[in-house]
A and B are shown apart, each in its own frame.
Chain A
Amino acid sequence: MKTLTSSIFTLLILTLILPSLAGADDPKARAIMEKVDARDDGDHQTADMKMILIDKNGNQRKRGIRSFSKDMGEDSFRLMFFREPADVRDTGFLTYDYDDPDRDDDQWLYLPALKKTKRIASSDKSGSFMGSDLSYSDMTSRNLDDYDFTLKKEMEVKGHPVWLIESIPRNKKVIKETGYTKSLIFVRQDNYFVIRGINWLKNGGYLKYLDTRTLEQIDGVWVGTEMHITKKKGKKVVHKTELYWNNVRFNQDLADDLFTIRRLEKGL
């Protein structure tokens, strides 16, 4: 009898302690992340994006981008044109973000000064998105199978209850691709929107804070229309990007041939 109680007790302790020790997957956290993944993020979207790049001395640079995006089955396509600064006007990016984790995304760049389109070959998504603090991996959705999730705690952010979930990449390939060794994700409990994130960068000991400052419901879809991305070292801000989305429209009935190289080369 005594042995039975003690073994049950041991088992109980083990079940309580082990997950936190091993950082193994937590079904509750995964369930939340699945809902995040399934959240309707709209389709056939057009928007104007304003990007303000701020360096550690407070110097600012502005970039204006017109963006079109469309889901093609599980893949998503995106076309973007620079509007400002003048020196890069009409420089365009076309990206095909494939759902298949084994397939590298396609990316083309059109340089009007050279009148040439180049495909950019890179399996590495940790690079900067147009000079901002966002990386390509921040722009694309996570493949949930690549990570272990743990629910760390429930808390409030600006009056909204959130789940704080830790995500750890399951293998080195994912770390190399995203450039992150660990992330903390703040998921709003009412709409499964990731309103904040903290990412640990593989190189240089930096932390990257993603903060959705303004969340709006547009055509029934939750959209973060103001976002601050801050790259920090300890408490020191190394670089910061502010993103503002204007004129966000969904269901704009964007034709498939909008997302082609020919269209890319025509400019806005």
Chain B
Amino acid sequence: MAISFVVNGEKKTVDVPPMSRLLDVLRDDLHLTGTKEGCGEGECGSCSVLMNGELVNSCLVPALQAEGATICTIEGMSKNGEMSPIQKKFLECGAAQCGICTPGMVLAAHHLLQKYPSPTMEQIREGLAGNLCRCTGYQRIFEAVAECGKEQSELIATSGAK
């Protein structure tokens, strides 16, 4: 079935079975491989994307449900290869180690900072709890998000995801 939605600002139409996972549509049909599969059951958050501004696990979203939606993936977080403020902070603070959870984590951090421009540590812990990271023990990620909140809350509105 033909499904149309906006991904990273571009209108796309794909012809896929209605129950295809949004994750597979993004990766296989649209070649947006920045979105990763970690568990396939909505536990790890590696496949997180923003759908109509909400953080979703794209492995749990049937393609059908994305009809007419506005989706932002990690590829939409940067502009012309320029890192967003969150991505810069992730790099500087050492928040990315192996990098596999990073795309989902960056989107979760973005979502959190939209909701709470200057999040408390408790809000950060809660807000990222749907995204698992096995490398960092989360401390560098907390720092990256907290610094974003402290220094750059005004820049978040222009960080790429609309």
Chains A and B form a bound pair: no
A residues in contact (CB < 8 Å) with B: none
